[in-house]
Amino acid sequence: MPALKRPGVSLNSGKNLKELEEELDPNEFCRIHRSILVRLSAIASVQRDKRGRQLLNIRDFQEKLEVSRNHNHLFQTM
């Protein structure tokens, strides 16, 4: 059961990630990892680490989120 996280809030959803992904607008949300969906407007920046992995800086979220190799193509132009 996935958790929905926002600054100061964590909610459990009764749906699996695939179900949530199908319900959400793909112009507003995207999957960056098999276990992570991100609201595109929450992305502050995209950077690469020393190993070439793409990392997302999310507004109001301290840790950086790594984009999986399967989803790297989504951020090639950012």
Q: Give per-residue pLDDT as tens, 19-58.
A: 888 988 999 999 999 888 899 999 999 999 999 899 999 9
Pairwise CA distance, residues 26 & 15, whole Å: 17
Higher per-residue confidence, 6 vs 40: 40
pTM of the full structure: 0.76
Domain count, the chain: 1
Residue 24 has what DSSP assignment?
Answer: S
Amino acid present at 7: P
Higher per-residue confidence, 73 vs 30: 30
Residue 73 has what DSSP assignment?
Answer: G
Range of the domain at 41: 3-75
- Of 26, 27, 29, 1, nearest to 13 by C-alpha is 1
